[in-house]
Amino acid sequence: MKIKTTELQEEALDWAVAKCKDLQVWKSRGGWIVFDSYDCPEFRNDSDDSNCQRFCPTYDWAQGGPIIEREGITVRRYTDALWDASIGRLDYVADGPTPLIAAMRCYVASKLGEEVEVPDEMAS
């Protein structure tokens, strides 16, 4: 299903950012998961998750921050409840309720365009 980049949120937005970074995305028993490590129990069938980190750049600054820095994304508060982000001279612009969501929408738009094809299960 196609979704406008400006409407991506939560798991679908993390999924789209992972696609921009060529990370793998899997469907598990609990839903869609995006990991930045292949060494996770989900795929080894054991319970040791010490090497496993979920990829969530929309709320983890340690993951989203480096993308913002590397891509030169400018983020600013637009209103009390809205942030906007841009790349270049407004080549790509997006907004969101948090600085990370705005920045990740902007990043996805710059890499994948104004609409993103996401799995139907994720779009619902």
Instruction: Specify whether the CB–CB gap between 3 and 12 falls below 8 A.
Output: yes
Domain membership flag for residue 119: no
Is 123 contained in some domain? no
In a domain, 121, yes or no: no
Q: Which residue has the higher pLDDT, 91 or 32?
A: 91
Half-sphere exposure of 120 (CA within 13 A, CB side): 0
Query: Is residue 73 domain-resident?
Result: yes
More confident residue, 53 or 48: 53
pLDDT averaged over every residue in the chain: 83
- Domain containing 39 — which CATH number? 3.30.2120
Identify the sign of the CA torsion 34, 100, 93, 79.
positive
How many Cβ atoms are within 10 Å of 30's Cβ, its own excluded?
7
Range of the domain at 54: 2-112
pTM assigned to the model:
0.83
The total number of structural domains in the chain stands at 1
* Max CA pair span of the chain: 48
User: Considering the domain boundaries, does residue 117 fall inside one?
Assistant: no
Tell me the pLDDT tens digit for each residue of 59-84. Answer: 899 999 999 999 999 999 989 999 99
